[in-house]
């Protein structure tokens, strides 16, 4: 009975920006009627806790999966990886306005870490996971065309949604993700201030803003610089001695210092303003001008100096002593790191 279905999950923007809401709604509404596609909406990926029903839902999707979110693709992929939602890298042609032109056919199914020195992810299932950045275009049709292209290139047989969710103990809680039309309706009611009890039940649990690093294991070499540098106990290692973000809530909101000292640029803060830290591949970001530099974000310091300063500020706020360059900074790496960050920064403009 089941055809070759692809599940599309839209990770909603933070806040209630009407422009973003509208794009999400336009895409979801069109996909509800689209053959071969199941569509769901979940809260913003980065803000959901690991046991949020949105992640329970995502983990239970068995087949090929397309995730659209307001994040760079790398940030989406590794935020999902952290939550145990994995898949082989599905290649999307929707990257940035520049390389949207041709190149789709041949680089169909590239290797996980494409020749890098990264330690890679673990237990990656044999299905494809496509991550698409909703900031690439303002037009729903651009995303719909890409989703149709992906549906056409996949012909894996999967069971239909109801039968795989059945039997789960959380069935009722996951039900809402199978009714995107109802969820959109409830969301409209919420935005206009007329939400009733039924609407609230149809919506996922609320999520608050969070701040923590996400590791890109296709780049991470397990060098342990981050665990040495961070003095707040965010990092730890697992049973295989692989680095992981263990105590994410120890992380200091707004502080991206560890990502600046990472020699492999493997630490992503998806909400950071600098594209290289937020997970950009190096492609030019949005078309809008970023005025942050003019409004106070400008600094003439090197990446490591900046990281040390950011860390000191957080230490002092926490009632501890500043340590400057004396802890967790490997002298030999400094110049190299600065060069790397400079190169990355140069790409933004």
Partner 1 sequence: MSEPLHFMMGNFKAFIPEDRLYSRRHLWLQEVSGGLYRVGLTAYSVRLLQDVYFLEWSVDPGTQVRDRQEIGEVESSKAISSMYPPCAGEVVRFNPQLLQDPSGINADNYGSGWLYEFRPAETLLQPAEYIEVLEAGWENTQRTIKGQMNE
If we measure between CA atoms, which residue out of 231, 212, 319 comes closest to residue 272? Answer: 212
Q: Judged by CB under 8 A, does residue 299 bind partner 1?
A: yes
Site size toward partner 1 (CB under 8 A) is: 26
| Interacting residue with partner 1 among 233, 282, 297, 324 (CB under 8 A) | 297
Cβ 284 to partner 1, closest distance in Å? 7
Burial of 171 (0-12, 13-18, 19+ CB in 10 A): exposed
Reduce the DSSP state of residue 36 to 3 states and report it. coil
Contact between 17 and partner 1 (CB under 8 A)? yes
Sign of CA dihedral 180, 186, 187, 192: positive
**Cα separation, 329 vs 332, whole angstroms:** 9
Q: Going residue by residue from 300 to 319, which x/- string records binding to partner 1, judged by CB under 8 A?
A: -------------x---x--
Of 151-159, 232-240, 281-289, 331-339, the window that binds partner 1 (rule: CB under 8 A) is 281-289
Stretch that binds partner 1, among 14-22, 53-61, 70-78, 233-241 (CB under 8 A): 14-22
We find the least distance from the C-beta atom of residue 255 to partner 1, in angstroms, to be: 10
Task: Name 236's bridge partners.
Answer: 244
The 249-278 contact track toward partner 1, x by CB under 8 A, reads ----xx------------------x-----
Report in angstroms the alpha-carbon separations of 258 from 268, 328, 329: 9, 10, 10
- Does the footprint of partner 1 cover residue 139 (CB under 8 A)? no
Which residues does residue 40 pair with via DSSP β-bridges, in sequence order? 9
145 binds partner 1 (CB under 8 A): no
C-alpha distances in Å from residue 51, one per residue of 152, 195, 204: 33, 25, 12
With respect to partner 1, which residue has the nearer C-beta, 130 or 269? 269
CA angle 28, 26, 50 (to 5 degrees): 40
Q: Is 128 helix (H, G, I), strand (E, B) or coil?
A: strand
Work out how close the CB of 344 gets to partner 1 at its nearest, in angstroms, rounded to a whole number.
Answer: 16
* 327 contributes a contact to partner 1 by CB under 8 A: no
90 versus 256: smaller Cβ distance to partner 1: 256
Instruction: Say how far apart CA 246 and CA 112 lie, in whole Å.
Output: 24
Q: Taking CB under 8 A as the rule, does residue 284 contact partner 1?
A: yes
**DSSP string spanning 107-127?**
S-S--TTTT------SS--SS
Complex with partner 1: residue 163 or 292, whichever CB lies closer: 292
Q: Contact positions toward partner 1, by CB under 8 A?
A: 14-15, 17-19, 209, 253-254, 273, 284, 286-297, 299, 313, 317, 349
């Amino acid at each position: 009975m089941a055809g070759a279905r692809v599940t599309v999950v839209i990770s909603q923007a933070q806040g209630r920006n009407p422009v973003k809401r509208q794009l999400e709604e336009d895409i979801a509404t069109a996909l509800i009627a689209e053959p071969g596609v199941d569509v769901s909406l979940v809260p913003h990926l980065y803000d959901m806790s690991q046991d949020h029903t949105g992640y329970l839902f995502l983990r239970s999707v068995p087949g090929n999966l397309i995730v659209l979110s307001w994040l760079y693709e790398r940030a989406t992929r590794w935020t999902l990886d952290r939550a145990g939602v994995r898949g082989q890298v599905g290649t999307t042609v929707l990257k940035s306005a520049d390389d949207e032109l041709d190149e789709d056919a041949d680089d169909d199914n590239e290797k996980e870490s494409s020749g890098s020195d990264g330690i890679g992810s673990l237990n990656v299932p044999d299905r494809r996971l496509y991550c698409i950045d909703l900031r690439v275009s303002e037009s729903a049709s651009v995303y719909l065309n890409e989703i149709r292209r992906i549906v056409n290139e996949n012909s894996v047989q999967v069971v239909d949604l109801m039968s795989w969710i059945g039997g789960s103990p959380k069935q009722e809680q996951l039900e809402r993700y199978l009714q995107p039309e109802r969820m959109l309706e409830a969301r409209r009611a919420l935005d206009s201030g007329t939400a009733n009890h039924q609407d609230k039940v149809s919506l996922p649990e609320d999520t608050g803003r969070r701040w923590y690093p996400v590791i890109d294991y296709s780049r991470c070499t397990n060098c342990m610089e981050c665990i040495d540098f961070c003095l707040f106990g965010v990092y730890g290692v697992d049973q295989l001695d692989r680095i992981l973000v263990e105590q994410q809530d120890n992380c200091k909101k707004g502080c991206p210092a560890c990502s600046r000292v990472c020699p492999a640029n493997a630490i992503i803060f998806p909400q950071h303003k600098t594209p290289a830290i937020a997970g950009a591949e190096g492609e030019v970001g949005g078309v809008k001008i970023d005025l942050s530099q003019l409004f106070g974000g400008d600094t003439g310091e090197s990446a490591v100096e900046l990281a040390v300063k950011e860390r000191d500020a957080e230490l002092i706020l926490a009632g501890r002593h500043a340590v400057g360059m004396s802890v967790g900074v490997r002298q030999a790496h400094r110049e190299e790191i600065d060069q790397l960050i400079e190169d990355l920064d140069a790409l933004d403009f």
